[in-house]
Structure 1
Amino acid sequence: MEIHNLISPKTLYTAKEKAVSLNSLTILLFSLRKYPQKIRIDLINEYWVDGLVTEVSPYMDVTLEDATLHEPIYDNVHSTYSCYVLKGRFIRFIHLPENLDVVEEIDKQIQLIAPDRMKRKT
């Protein structure tokens, strides 16, 4: 599987969107774009979706590629989509990969969006 091309969020978003990203854990979702494995996202209506994260907005809207939507009542009932877009307000929980170093990934994303925030006093 091919690792998706990353574009720095620094060039994509307005000042307000950068502030929203830096002050929430949405910044962690940006790092999931590089993972070639499927991510599970639980929705507020008890459904869940598995897919490859291709895009994330500062408002936690997520675009998944090769996605599968699972129904909560029936184990074998699911729908597949080549592209599936989730609004951030419908997301309940995102299952992070076990091998993801959360602190390191957040630091990398902050460095991309606002390098001046990473300057530490010594």
Structure 2
Amino acid sequence: MDTKPSAKEIFLYYNTMASLVKGLEQNYTTIDFRDESSVTGKIVNVDGFMNIEMEDCYYYNAKGIEYPFKSFFVKARNIRFVHIPHEKNAVETIQNQLVIFDRPNRSSSKKLTFKEKRAKNYQKELLMNIAKQ
């Protein structure tokens, strides 16, 4: 599912730990749930709300009984812990994800509105008057 994240999702990537979990995509990990169960498998996709899609999973209920699943969807509200693999550095993973989601600066070729043009001209005039003094 390679859809472009919404502005709200990007905001959440920057301001929550979702960016760390997003950096774990294509890695095998364990997720513990609030009801004492867990799932182990490969993370396929993570959205900005930290909903997780997994594949090749084994679900373990609270009694420890194992159930295999080809695919598994984890709703964010059910997550208690996400285990970070030993080979992953959490800080580096977050920094790498933030670089990926870094928005490019607005292009200067954007058409200005009337108010923007007027404000820009007023600023130029003001700076010229200050420079003359």
**TM bracket (short chain):** 0.7 to 0.9
Question: What stretches of structure 2 of length at least 5 have no aligned partner?
Answer: 105-133
* Matched residue type, 1:42: D
Counterpart check, 1:54 vs 2:33:
no
Given candidates 32, 42, 57, the residue that maps to 1:42 is 32
Residue deviations 1:48-87 (CA, integer Å, cap 9, x gap): 00010000010010011011110222x3x21111000000
Corresponding residue number in structure 1 for 2:61: 71
CA distance in 2, matches of 1:13, 1:68: 28
* Matched residue type, 2:37: Y
Question: What stretches of structure 1 of length at least 5 have no aligned partner?
Answer: 1-6, 117-122
Equivalent residue pairs, number: 105
CA distance in 1, matches of 2:24, 2:72: 16
CA distance in 2, matches of 1:103, 1:78: 33
CA distance in 2, matches of 1:24, 1:58: 9
* Matched residue type, 1:46: E
CA distance in 2, matches of 1:98, 1:79: 25
Residue deviations 1:87-119 (CA, integer Å, cap 9, x gap): 000000011101111111111100010156xxx
**1:13 to partner: Cα distance:** 1.0
CA distance in 1, matches of 2:83, 2:90: 12
TM-score w.r.t. length of structure 2: 0.73
Is the radius of gyration larger for structure 1 or structure 2? 2
Corresponding residue number in structure 1 for 2:6: 14
The sequence identity of aligned pairs, in percent, is 26
TM-score w.r.t. length of structure 1: 0.79
Given candidates 16, 25, 29, the residue that maps to 1:24 is 16
RCO (CA 8 Å, sep 6+): is it higher in 1 or 2? 1
